[in-house]
Amino acid sequence: MEKREVYDTKINESLSILLKSLENHDTIKAYKKIEKKIDEHDGLKEMVEEIKQLQKEAVKFAHYDKPNAEKEVLRQADELQETFDKHPLVLEYRECLVEANDLLHHLTSLLQSQVNESLEKLLNEKE
């Protein structure tokens, strides 16, 4: 086996371990759990569909130069969007999303730092 193949195998194994660890991290589990709740919540799905429909209607009214109708439909869409945004599951989802993003950002920064250090060592050894 070539040196590169051994190196690639080690990288893939390490990546698999990392991904498995991430899946089992409490922050990621919490995110996936709330994401599933939202996906299964019929009321939230209906709100999203209604908001989309209202936005489509607003585009049509704008196209046919009906500013008053467009304004009213946009007001309804904004009102529904505000209700959606204040829903407890949506608030919890956004909080979990921020935590998961922070975790992934921290992990990415850590990996980047370690890779850069390793590359610097390799370059210094070759000099």
Instruction: Read off the pLDDT of residues 57-78 as tens digits, 9 standing for 90 and up.
Output: 999 999 999 999 999 999 999 9
Two tokens at 72? 């009213």
User: Phi, psi (5° rounding) for residue 65?
Assistant: 55, 55
Domain 25-126: give its CATH superfamily: YheA/YmcA-like (1.20.1500.10)
Predicted confidence (pLDDT) per residue in 15-54, tens digit? 899 999 999 999 999 999 999 999 999 999 999 999 999 9
Which stretches of the chain are DSSP H helices? Answer: 3-23, 26-40, 42-63, 67-85, 88-126
- DSSP three-state, residue 64: coil
Q: What is each CA distance from 12 to 7, 28, 48, 104, 122, in whole angstroms?
A: 9, 21, 39, 19, 21
Residue appearing with tokens 């990392």:
18
Q: Would the pLDDT of 1 be above 70?
A: no
